[in-house]
C-alpha cells in the first residue's frame, strides 16, 4: 500500500518539482545514452535496414543505474528522469537514422516519382478489374509487376551498374510494363463486359 502511494506521489509532482534535462547527472547520462543510441542506430540501419526504437534501452539503463547503492544514482528511480533518458536516446537514434536515410531517400524518391502517374493508372485499372468481377487480373498485374519485372530488374541493375541510384530505375521500368499489361487487360475486359452491356441496352 505504501509503495503504491509513493508511486502515485511520484507521478503527481508539480512542474517546478519535475527534473530538468540540464541537471548535471541527467545531462551526462543523457549524452552517454545519445552516443550509445547513435551507435546502435547506425549499426542496425546499415546491417538490417531498420531504425530501432531505443527508448527501451534508455529506460533499462536508467533502472539498472538506479539500483547501484550510491546516493548519486538513486535519483534515477524517478519515472520522470527515466522518461528524459528515454526521450534523449530515442531522439538521437532516429536523428542519426534520418541523416543516413536522407542521402539514400532523396535520389530514390526523385527517380520513383517519375512513375507516380503510371502507378495511379495501375491502381485504377486494378479497381476496375475487381469491380467487374475479374480480381484475378488485378492479382496478375501485381504479381507480374513485383516478381517478374521489379525484382529481376533491380537485381540486374545492381549487378551491372554497381550503383544504388541506378537500382531505383527498376520502379519506373516495372510500372511501364505493368501499365502495358494493365492496358491489355482493360481492353479485354472492355470487349468482354462493357460492350455486351451496351449491346443489351440497344
- Per-residue pLDDT tens for 73-86? 666 666 666 667 67
- 34-43, 49-58, 142-151, 177-186: segment of lowest average pLDDT: 49-58
184 pLDDT band, cuts 50/70/90, is very high
Q: Which three cell numbers stand for residue 170?
A: 527498376
Contact 116, 62 (CB under 8 A): no
Average pLDDT over residues 153-172: 86
Domain spans, the chain: 2-103, 109-201
User: Higher-confidence residue: 112 or 92?
Assistant: 112
Distance CA 118, CA 177 (A): 10
Return contacts of 152-159, CB within 8 angstroms, 24+ apart.
none
pLDDT on residue 119: 87
Question: What's the mean per-residue pLDDT of the chain?
Answer: 75
Residue with more model confidence, 131 or 77? 131
Q: Is the pLDDT of residue 171 over 70?
A: yes
Handedness of CA 94, 96, 99, 105 (dihedral sign): negative
Q: Scanning the structure block, which residue is given the C-alpha cell 507516380?
A: 116
Amino acid at each position: 500500500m505504501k509503495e503504491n502511494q509513493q508511486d502515485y506521489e511520484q507521478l503527481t509532482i508539480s512542474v517546478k518539482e519535475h527534473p530538468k534535462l540540464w541537471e548535471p547527472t541527467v545531462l551526462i547520462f543523457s549524452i552517454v545514452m545519445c552516443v550509445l543510441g547513435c551507435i546502435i542506430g547506425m549499426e542496425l540501419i546499415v546491417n538490417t535496414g531498420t531504425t530501432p526504437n531505443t527508448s527501451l534501452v534508455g529506460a533499462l539503463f536508467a533502472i539498472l543505474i538506479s539500483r547501484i547503492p550510491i546516493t548519486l544514482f538513486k535519483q534515477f528511480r524517478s519515472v520522470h528522469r527515466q522518461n528524459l533518458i528515454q526521450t534523449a536516446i530515442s531522439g538521437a537514434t532516429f536523428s542519426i537514422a534520418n541523416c543516413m536515410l536522407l542521402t539514400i531517400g532523396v535520389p530514390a524518391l526523385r527517380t520513383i516519382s517519375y512513375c507516380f502517374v503510371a502507378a495511379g493508372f495501375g491502381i485504377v485499372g486494378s479497381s476496375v478489374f475487381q469491380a467487374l468481377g475479374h480480381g484475378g487480373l488485378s492479382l496478375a498485374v501485381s504479381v507480374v509487376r513485383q516478381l517478374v519485372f521489379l525484382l529481376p530488374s533491380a537485381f540486374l541493375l545492381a549487378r551491372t551498374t554497381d550503383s544504388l541510384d541506378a537500382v531505383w530505375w527498376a520502379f519506373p521500368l516495372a510500372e511501364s510494363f505493368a501499365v502495358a499489361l494493365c492496358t491489355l487487360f482493360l481492353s479485354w475486359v472492355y470487349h468482354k463486359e462493357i460492350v455486351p452491356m451496351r449491346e443489351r441496352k440497344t
